[in-house]
Amino acid sequence: MLTPAPRPGRPLFPTRFAWGAATSAYQVEGSPLADGAGPSNWHRFTHSPGRVLTGETGDVACDHYRRWRDDVALMRELGLTAYRFSVSWSRVLPTGAGAVNPKGLDFYRRLVDALCEAGIAPFVTLFHWDLPAALDDRGGWLNRDIAGWFAEYAEVMFRALDDRVAWWATLNEPWVVSDGGYLHGTLAPGHASPFEAPIASHNLLRAHAAALQAYRAAGRHEIGLVVNLEPKSASSSDPADLAAAARSDAYMNRQFLDPVFLGAYPDDLAEVFGEAWPSFAASDLAEIRQKIDFLGINYYTRGVMHHDPAAWPVSAAKVTQPDSVYTEMEWEVYPQGLRETLLWVRERYGDVPIYITENGAAFPDGVATDGAVSDSLRTAYLRDHLLAAHAAMQGGVDLRGYFVWSLLDNFEWNHGTSKRFGIVHVDFATQQRTPKDSARFYAEVIRTNGAVIGVSEG
């Protein structure tokens, strides 16, 4: 469902709006063990048979660890004003805690320097799913000590880069780590236990809080948290479906934000997890409830839910919408949901500065012989979501920036390279980068601050 192209108008976004693209370390860097880096749990996971649907690993990915200069040049050509990337914890601290690997740290120093020289503001995520394998051996997110390990690592990064990095994010999508890594086992470390998932979630939040505290002592800029949100509605007015939608919302959207903003987990989670739901110390929740400087929201799709006892753990499953476009991930394209989500956050949690830290789509791209990559579905997706973001701003949301996922086609976790999210095409055999039509569109959006998609006001 594409909205008709509006006539070009005035800039839709404020002058200082951050226009970026996002990536993450394991998905683009490759060279996972180079220069003294330690292995991560994702390295281990992808090297275990059967874990990645295509059998691939992230050993090469986009080879960004060696091609970062070219990639920064590419970002500059597109006119990006910001770049969101993550740091590989085990490059900097090969065993997760203790000795720092100076060569690992230097990689990020050089990258940040090059970005600043190119006029691109670095937006650094400290944890985007790749955990040092040595810490996984000590229990990973199930070990309470991880809050201290994470704060120690965060402090190393703050000291090295806070003079040039103005935005820090502690965690990327803790819900996915808990749900995929500890409840269903589809992502690293591949555990499947209802008893483990709530503990992993809680320690993720404790680690976030510990890093925040470290930043208040060592940092001078802004720090926040990145979560993925999906508006959940019921497929019918049947009370069972309404309850299913409410449980899904509590599990995915409120599990992390309620503790951060309101200091308590949603009551529904005790119902969802039953005997596997532990009681958490009030002092932990008091620490978790700390002011963040901004909230990063990753938005891709929505969920229209119906009651389904077989769908574990929330007994709720998505209902396919016959009239909607679906991406290759089988995610419904639903731009209005971005506006709804942004307004919902403001209404429930108050007026916090927001960045859309990820938004994008995997579609099959047509690669022509002349090097052009036609991806009109992705261009339409971006345009419609930007209009929805603008509508939310008109509704009072303090939106400060937008990051497309992703700069490059990359290693999409357990899907390998089979799902392409980039606005820049990557030929994984040659590592050649080719901006897709959506990249040219996005460059125009940036150049005109949205006027290219803006509705004419006169």
Residues designated as active site: 173, 358
90 SS3 class: helix
DSSP 182-216: IIS-SSTT----TTHHHHHHHHHHHHHHHHHHHHH
Give the start-end residues of each E strand in 97-178: 121-127, 167-172
**Nearest residue (CB) to ligand FCB, 40 versus 298:** 298
User: Taking CB under 6 A as the rule, does residue 173 contact ligand FCB?
Assistant: yes
48 SS3 class: coil
Select from 37-45, 62-70, 94-102, 170-178 the region that touches ligand FCB (CB under 6 A).
170-178
CB of 359 to ligand FCB, least distance (A): 10
Contact 141, 200 (CB under 8 A): yes
User: Taking CB under 6 A as the rule, does residue 2 contact ligand FCB?
Assistant: no
User: Taking CB under 6 A as the rule, does residue 86 contact ligand FCB?
Assistant: no
Question: Residues binding ligand FCB: what is the number (CB under 6 A)?
Answer: 12
User: Taking CB under 6 A as the rule, does residue 65 contact ligand FCB?
Assistant: no
Residues whose CB falls within 8 Å of the CB of residue 292, separated by 6 or more in sequence, listed in order? 212, 223, 224, 225, 260, 352
User: Taking CB under 6 A as the rule, does residue 125 contact ligand FCB?
Assistant: no
User: Taking CB under 6 A as the rule, does residue 176 contact ligand FCB?
Assistant: yes
Which residue, 192, 302, 193, 319, is CA-closest to 252?
Answer: 302
CA 251 – CA 258 distance, rounded (Å): 11
Binding mask 227-256 for ligand FCB (x = CB under 6 A): -x----------------------------
Select from 12-20, 107-115, 169-177, 268-276 the region that touches ligand FCB (CB under 6 A).
169-177
Instruction: Name which position in 172, 255, 379, 417 contacts ligand FCB (CB under 6 A).
Output: 172
CB of 127 to ligand FCB, least distance (A): 11
Pairing of strands 232-234, 303-307: parallel
User: Which helix (H) or strand (E) is 237 found in, with range?
Assistant: none
Instruction: Name which position in 29, 130, 155, 412 contacts ligand FCB (CB under 6 A).
Output: 412
Residues whose CB falls within 8 Å of the CB of residue 270, separated by 6 or more in sequence, listed in order? 277
User: Taking CB under 6 A as the rule, does residue 405 contact ligand FCB?
Assistant: yes
Provide the binding-site residues for ligand FCB, judged by CB under 6 A: 24, 27, 172-173, 176, 228, 298, 358, 405, 412-413, 421
